[in-house]
Chains A and B, each alone.
Chain A
């Protein structure tokens, strides 16, 4: 870790620690993982953007059905290609870490589920979400009727103002009471 640690000087490290929910060791570990993804000739790791395909090769993200969405949400690239810089990468890890607050988790979860980036979860978003969760293959996916019923049920429960979509505050309201989400 000698060479990699030297790139992250102490001040940077403590700043990063201040701004994320990660500890020093975790940040160093994250940097190690990140620099493994860097191409050989790249020396300045902090400013380089790793393309989405390389990120998706990480085993932790490879099996996640929302992996593309996660990259898109955390990417700050101007071209919206889902590429991540080290800052974005740390943001991602911080949001997913154990000690992150409920608020930030629900915020990012909402953005990940909002497939068309329109600020609410409409029927289409929910449909895509179900397809992602059921694996997207033919034999495991639900029939159209089941899908309709499921989405109707979900909207019935969580769409408090009955506008046909789930917005952020409704989402947070629902999710903050879930025992699975809290812990």
Chain B
């Protein structure tokens, strides 16, 4: 074979090599570029690095330095994680260098024109290559062994590790992240670690000791699996948030007013009116938050509109307003931050590409320690597998889609009817109760007085059951069905709450009309009083009139607060009573009547109840929504809620442990975590809406609350700005709140959101693209791996191959649609070995063969 010929073809093909290199380098660069955004690419790079020994081996035929450089870079980025591998690679590279030198010698000999010798040399070379392959595969096996059994690391590797530890003290902390046995870790630590401050350790210890109810939750976790425990963790989280809300309102509003404000009985708004005085201490009245409870720091109306109170000159109205805004802002911040964290942790796992594998590898709940739960879990995993297989089979065929569609539409229609009905019922009841209120509550029965709350609680109890029955029509997958169910209950609660609020709005309007009348009457009354005192005794001023006798407005803010407090109380009571009757009593009856009953109660109809995680979580979310809504008008609400949550924690823990059985359908909790969070966010948003509406549009009552006498509640900000801050500050503020500045700002934010969203979308697309490329690269590597043996086999079968043409069939991979890449590699491979290679084009080759393989024809 002519040497010239091959150099010529080298020149021709070198451009192609560069193409390949460019493609590969591009891929690698992209990998690194996206590593920060997508953690999973890190995993992929790891995967590639596993292949690098092969790659180097095969690519060294190319003798291209650039490629080596790229690999080196990759190796550096691999950090210290696989230091042992690193070293092995270097040894390999050295060996390769040596063998390359050998080869070059041979080439020199070849150039001398002794073809026979050259051929022998090639054969020898091939043998060497084979040996190398063997060695390398051994190496790889070893290295994999090392990976799986890291205890067998050699002493010098340990030495290396020690160096690393010495280098960076931070690495010590990563020691526990290494999958070594304790003894090895201990030895490493003792030999490297001399000085270490224990401050952070102690702080960690302190922090864990501060987490409340940890043992309780762990116990429940082991009995009922992680889904039930997740409810309690959620409850604890809520408790934490409410503690902070409570701290804010209690510390900045209630305590200052109680300590530094005017005492009880000094002004009309702080005194029980004469007409109510007789019954103000009755339990029934107090239970309804009337009487003395109404005229206390618990409600909006008690606060006076003095600008500064006490020796601290505490700005009470301002503080009240800012705390109201602050609680909402804080809640938004916490919820959104938690959501973002959850999304960060699990957001990548939204696609269904590993459906089966996830079911397989992650379905066991390692926290389960109760045999019964374990049995349930086994059963649920089995059905889960079977369902998944069935789904996979059924995904191709769809049966009677029209019937299912019709049933689903019907079900949704029924649900809508239910929602509308319950909404109307609540509206009706609230209007009726207003009528009763006008007549005076004393003339009515207990039921008529508490109708609204009871109806709301009862609807909340029975409608979900109705929805459950309706949802059997739909024939959804359980997980989807659960989400629909939750969505419907959510809509129900929300509808109820909003009807309640609309009815309240009506009532507010009524009260405001009443207020106008009272205002007019008061001016009349004051005028008459003034006239009377003037005529009789000049020195006696209006102060002598006891504040309880002063006529006053209806104070709609306190009314709203009272309504919410009553709602919370009745909601709490219903929850506890259902818990006691539905769970405890049922469990007791089933347990003790089982001996003398005609059928098996435990296995049959009533049986024990399961813990309803989703219902309870929803209840908690709605409760929180009501707190957010009412907290502005009743500062006591967070305190009440803290109390409620605290009691709930103990009561429900006890109820779960003593009268519930593990769920039959054990759900993993984490999957729907953000679903609940999203609901919380929606509720938060919806509950701030009416608050903002009332604050912005309705003028506050004239004779009660911290904002009395102002036109709007937020005027307190203006007032403070004008009187407490220097002039330039209010000027700046007024400029900043100018619509001309605010609107562009909002526009900018919208643009930023749009930009970020489109960027994330493009990242996602890049992700998919890279995944494809990765698979292609892997396929190419496989072909490279296969090539030497195939060529050798072919050569062995055709002993006199000189100048002949032959055919090698390489397995055609499924994913590798684009053959040209692999052809390119084969060409370069053959080029290095001074062999010429031609390809059949796709069209010319017989289709039958092409399906299984694609042909490579060698000619020498």
Binding site for B on A (CB under 8 A): 14-21, 23-26, 59-60, 62-66, 74, 76, 87-88, 90-91, 94-96, 100-101, 103-104, 107-109, 111, 113-114, 117, 119, 126, 129-130, 133-135, 137, 140-142, 146, 149-150, 153-154, 156-158, 160-162, 167-183
The interface-forming segment of B244-252, B366-374, B829-837 is B366-374
B222 adjacent to A60 (CB under 8 Å): yes
10 cross-chain pairs, A with B, having the tightest CB-CB distances, nearest first: A87-B182, A135-B378, A63-B374, A179-B346, A179-B349, A183-B670, A173-B43, A153-B356, A180-B362, A134-B382
Selected contact of A157 from candidates B357, B366, B379, CB within 8 Å:
B357
A140-B355 contact in complex given A25-B208, A60-B222, A60-B369, C-beta closer than 8 Å? no
Stretch from B21-29, B113-121, B183-191, B476-484 contacting the other chain: B183-191
Question: Count of chain B residues with Cβ under 8 Å from any Cβ of A?
Answer: 78
Q: Which of A18, A135, A150 sits near B356, CB closer than 8 Å?
A: A150
Nearest opposing residue in chain A for B146, CB measure: A119
Question: Besides the contacts A133-B381, A150-B385, A180-B670, what 7 more A-B pairs have beta carbons closer than 8 Å?
Answer: A18-B201, A91-B182, A96-B366, A130-B385, A133-B385, A157-B354, A173-B46
Question: Which chain B residue shows the least CB distance to A113?
Answer: B361
Instruction: Assess whether B258 is interfacial by the CB under 8 Å rule.
Output: no
Instruction: Identify which of A96, A142, A146, A176 contacts B43 (C-beta below 8 A).
Output: A176
- Is the Cβ of A158 less than 8 Å from the Cβ of B357? yes
Q: When chains A and B are docked, how far (Å) is the Cα of A126 from the Cα of B151?
A: 26
The contact of B176 among A94, A109, A153, A154, by CB within 8 Å, is A94
Is there contact, CB below 8 Å, between B198 and A169? no
CA distance A46 to B778 in the complex (A): 48
Given the interface pairs A14-B198, A133-B360, A133-B381, the reply to whether A146 lies near B386 with Cβ below 8 Å is: yes
Residue of A nearest to B150 (CB): A107
Given A18-B176, A177-B354, A180-B362, residue A168 in contact with residue B382 (CB < 8 A)? no
Complex Cα distance, B173 from A88, in Å, reads 19
**B353: chain A residues within 8 A (beta carbon):** 157
List residues of B (767-802) whose CB comes within 8 Å of A's CBs. 774-775, 778, 782
Per-position binary interface string of chain B over residues 663-679, scored 1 when its CB falls under 8 Å from any chain A CB and 0 otherwise? 00000101101000000
B104 proximal to A (CB < 8 A): no
Whether B386 lies near A142 (C-beta < 8 A) is yes
Across the interface, which residues of B come within 8 angstroms of A134, CB to CB?
378, 381-382, 385
State whether the Cβ of B175 lies closer than 8 Å to any Cβ in chain A.
Answer: yes
CB distance from B164 to the nearest CB of A (A): 16
B170 → A minimal CB distance (Å): 13
Pick from A23, A65, A179: contact of B364, CB below 8 A: A65
Contact B179 A104 (CB under 8 A): yes
Instruction: Contact check, A88 vs B181: say whether CB atoms are below 8 A apart.
Output: yes
Q: Is the CB of B357 within 8 A of A174?
A: yes
Closest to A76 in B: B181
| Contact of B382 with A140 in the complex, beta carbons under 8 Å | yes
Do B147 and A168 touch (CB < 8 A)? yes
Q: Which A residue's beta carbon lies closest to that of B372?
A: A63
* Contact (Cβ within 8 A) A178 B349: yes
**Is there an interface contact between A177 and B379, defined as CB atoms closer than 8 Å?**
no
List residues of chain A with CB within 8 A of the CB of B43. 169, 172-173, 176
In this assembly, does B491 line the interface, its C-beta being within 8 Å of a C-beta of chain A?
Answer: no
Q: Contacts A104-B177, A177-B349; is A170 near B382 (CB within 8 Å)?
A: no
B157 contact set on A, CB distance < 8 A: none
B859 to chain A, nearest CB (A): 31
Q: Is B178 an interface residue (CB 8 A)?
A: yes
Q: Which secondary structure dominates chain B's binding surface? A: helix
Let me know if B749 is at the binding interface, CB within 8 A. no
Q: Count CB-based A-B contacts (< 8 Å).
A: 211
A63: chain B residues within 8 A (beta carbon): 368-371, 373-374
Known contacts A119-B145, A173-B47; decide if A62 and B369 are in contact (CB<8 Å). Answer: yes
CA–CA, A154 to B361, complex, Å? 10
Assess the B177–A101 pair: CB atoms within 8 A: yes
- CB-defined A-B contacts under 8 Å, sample of 29: A15-B190, A23-B208, A59-B222, A62-B369, A63-B370, A63-B371, A63-B373, A65-B378, A76-B151, A87-B183, A87-B186, A104-B177, A109-B361, A119-B145, A133-B378, A133-B385, A141-B382, A149-B389, A153-B389, A157-B357, A158-B354, A160-B47, A168-B147, A168-B148, A170-B47, A173-B46, A177-B40, A179-B671, A183-B673
- The residues of B that contact A162 with a CB separation of less than 8 Å are 782, 813
Please indicate which of the listed interface residues B47, B349, B361, B774 has the most CB atoms of chain A within 10 Å of its own CB.
Answer: B361
Question: CA A28 – CA B551 in complex, angstroms?
Answer: 68
Central interface residue in B193, B354, B356, by most chain A CB within 10 Å: B356
In the bound assembly, the distance between CA atoms of A117 and B152 in angstroms comes to 15
Q: Smallest distance from the beta carbon of A134 to chain B beta carbons, Å?
A: 4
Beta-carbon contact of B175 and A18 below 8 Å: yes
What is the chain B residue whose CB lies nearest that of A22? B176
Cβ 8 A contact of A169, one of B46, B189, B774: B46
Task: Report how far A95 CA is from B368 CA in the complex, Å.
Answer: 16
* Docked-complex contact B369 and A135, CB < 8 angstroms: no
The proximity string for B residues 696-732 relative to A, scoring 1 for CB distances below 8 Å and 0 otherwise, is 0000000000000000000000000000000000000
Q: Is B358 an interface residue (CB 8 A)?
A: yes
Q: Which residue of A lies closest to B345 (CB)?
A: A182
Across the interface, do A154 and B357 meet the contact criterion of CB distance under 8 Å? yes
Asked if B68 is at the interface (CB within 8 A of a chain A CB), the reply is no
Complex Cα gap A12–B349 (Å): 40
Q: Is B8's CB within 8 Å of the partner chain A?
A: no
List the A side residues contacting B392 at CB < 8 Å: 149, 153
Q: What residue in chain B is nearest A170 (Cβ atoms)?
A: B47
Q: Which residues of chain B come closer than 8 Å to A153, judged between CB atoms?
A: 356, 388-389, 392
Chain B contacts with A in 28-79, Cβ cutoff 8 A = 39-40, 43-44, 46-47, 50-51
Contact A171 B50 (CB under 8 A): no
CB pair A178–B354 under 8 Å, yes or no, is yes
| Interface membership of B109, Cβ < 8 A | no
Q: In the assembly, what is the distance between CA of A48 and CA of B670, in Å?
A: 39
A174, B361: Cβ atoms under 8 Å?
yes
* Contact (Cβ within 8 A) A15 B189: yes
Asked if B46 and A172 make an inter-chain contact with CB atoms under 8 angstroms apart, the answer reads: yes
Whether A178 contacts B362 by the Cβ 8 Å rule is: yes
Partner of A173, one of B40, B374, B813: B40
Cβ-defined partner of B354 (8 Å) among A100, A117, A174: A174
- Which A residues are in CB contact (< 8 Å) with B382? 133-135, 140-142
One of B145, B189, B369 near A59 (C-beta < 8 A)? B369
B535 at the interface (CB under 8 A from A): no
B-chain residues with CB within 8 Å of residue A150 when the two chains form the complex: 356, 360, 385, 388-389
How far is B272's CA from A141's CA once the two chains are assembled, in angstroms?
73
